[in-house]
Amino acid sequence: MRKSVWLLDADMTLFDFEKAERFALRGACARFGVEISARENEMYHEINEALWRRLERGETTQGALQVERFVTFTRALGLALDARALAAAFVRELGEGCYLLPQALSLLQNLHRRCRVAIVTNGITAVQKRRLQLSGLSPYVDALVISEEEGVAKPDPRLLERALERLGCAEKAEAAMVGDSLTSDMAAAARAGLDGVWYNPKGRARPADAPPIAAEIRQLHDLMRYV
């Protein structure tokens, strides 16, 4: 498998979203005089993950998700806070949380010398654009496709197809999607008729009912064997 066009997920593929999330939640709550414990951070993470799975299934919208997660979180903690204001504070904090995963920058530098590269993400527009600006990745990214701007989210294949259009790629055989999520990234690749490369740094077992993949990598630099 050799590819000249690469679509890459952002969160937990290039960026350490879990770290950014922890700091953003702590910072946003601190603005309202609330200190967050590790247990409460985990509670928020579980609420957020459940809502993102609903988004993938088309059961909610990204705009609703951004507020609903804080409605649920503040109710669970018994906090009398404005969930909408807390959500806005969280997004501001999250945009400043630019933590690249190991090998992310060098991978894109190497890929961009020989290939066309797009980041395809279900993230929030303001957050993703700010983090890309801070990260140093921008010179090595030919297109940034964000679900909030496009009105569709992975695993909807249209998000990947729009990325291919912006990269001028008419042949799907030339392209592959790289990401850490089987239900989002790999499912979108399968539905779009693209090869999927599963980034699986922790060596998780792949469920029997998971979408098909063309390859699995444990380190980002492993991707270069397919260029």
For the chain, how big is the Rg over CA atoms in Å? Answer: 18
d(CA 104, CA 199): 12
Q: Where are the domains of the chain?
A: 5-16+100-226, 17-95
pLDDT of residue 110: 97
d(CA 83, CA 176): 39
Q: In terms of C-beta density within 10 A (0-12 exposed, 13-18 middle, 19 or more buried), how is residue 97 classed?
A: buried
d(CA 77, CA 94): 21
pLDDT of residue 126: 93
**Contact yes or no for 6/178 (Cβ under 8 A):** yes
CATH number of 17-95: 1.10.150.240
For residue 56, the number of C-alpha atoms closer than 13 Å in the C-beta half-sphere is: 17
pTM score above 0.85: yes
The backbone torsions φ and ψ at residue 193, rounded to the nearest 5 degrees and listed phi first, read 75, 30
3-state secondary structure labels for all residues of 87-111? HHHHHHHHHCCCCECCCHHHHHHHH
> Does position 222 have pLDDT exceeding 90, yes or no?
yes
CATH number of 5-16+100-226: 3.40.50.1000
For residue 55, name the pLDDT band (cuts at 50, 70, 90). confident
Q: Which residues are catalytic?
A: 9
For residue 58, name the pLDDT band (cuts at 50, 70, 90). confident
Q: Are strands 5-8 and 195-199 parallel, antiparallel or unpaired?
A: unpaired
d(CA 126, CA 134): 12
pLDDT of residue 176: 98
DSSP conformational letter for 15: B
What would the pLDDT profile of 9-29 be if each residue is shown by its tens digit?
A: 999 999 999 999 999 999 999
For residue 56, name the pLDDT band (cuts at 50, 70, 90). confident
